[in-house]
């Protein structure tokens, strides 16, 4: 019931539209193109919360890991972000053998996972500092969220997934990202 109530609020924060999704898609292409050109100077690209969440809703679905649906990100300001998605916890739980005291044994089904923290992105690296995480509204320790993130970010480049505390290199000459209320500004140099 909590997951259903939580996911009903996922789209209520900002108005989502195909137009906003298309706007972000154009901005991403421009960022990539600028990253490939040997031009001097800085380029600033604002990305609104509506554009980002519209893109996640209308475009990014096939790019999301299987088992992660309805993602939503909120840009609180001063570097603070909130994210949530409905996550298939059974995929993570059954991916390896677990001891009977492992807390992941208690997490089953598809539930709303939320996290709040700060994003710092400078000198071409992004870092996330977790403040709070929950599953279906129940607080969880950082280690549980870290396991979920690592599982769902596994790729050829990251066979063990991305560590929650690991700095990530920013692509396309992106040097900084400033999170403000309702928008982020991407700075390329």
pLDDT by 10s per residue, the chain, length 189: 333 334 444 445 679 999 999 999 999 999 999 999 877 789 999 999 999 999 999 999 999 999 999 999 999 999 999 999 999 998 888 877 777 777 777 788 999 999 999 999 999 999 999 999 999 999 999 999 999 999 999 999 999 999 999 999 999 999 999 999 999 999 999
Q: Write down the domain spans for the chain.
A: 2-188
- List all residues 6 or more positions away from 27 whose beta carbon is below 8 Å from its beta carbon: 45, 47, 51
Residue 177: which of 135, 127, 137, 130 has the closest Cα?
127
> CA-to-CA distance for 62 and 50, rounded, in angstroms?
19
**pTM summary value:** 0.85
Residue 101: per-residue pLDDT: 76
Residue 3: per-residue pLDDT: 39
Residue 186: which of 106, 95, 133, 121 has the closest Cα?
121
Pairing of strands 183-188, 125-135: unpaired
């Amino acid at each position: 019931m909590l997951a259903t109530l939580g996911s009903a609020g996922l789209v209520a924060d900002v108005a989502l539209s195909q137009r906003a999704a298309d706007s972000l898609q154009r901005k991403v292409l421009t960022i990539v193109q600028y990253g490939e050109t040997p031009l001097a100077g800085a380029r600033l690209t604002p990305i609104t919360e509506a554009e980002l969440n519209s893109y996640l809703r209308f475009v990014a679905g096939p790019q999301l890991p299987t088992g992660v649906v309805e993602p939503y990100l909120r840009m609180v300001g001063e570097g603070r972000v909130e994210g949530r998605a409905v996550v298939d916890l059974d995929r993570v739980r059954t991916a390896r053998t677990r001891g009977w005291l492992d807390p992941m044994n208690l997490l089953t089904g598809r539930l709303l996972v939320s996290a709040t923290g700060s994003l710092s992105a400078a000198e071409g690296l992004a870092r996330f500092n977790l403040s709070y995480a929950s599953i279906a509204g129940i607080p969880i320790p950082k280690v549980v969220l870290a396991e979920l993130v690592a599982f769902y970010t596994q790729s050829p480049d990251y066979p063990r997934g991305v560590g929650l505390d690991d700095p990530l290199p920013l692509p396309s000459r992106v040097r900084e990202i400033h999170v403000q209320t309702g928008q982020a500004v991407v700075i390329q140099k």
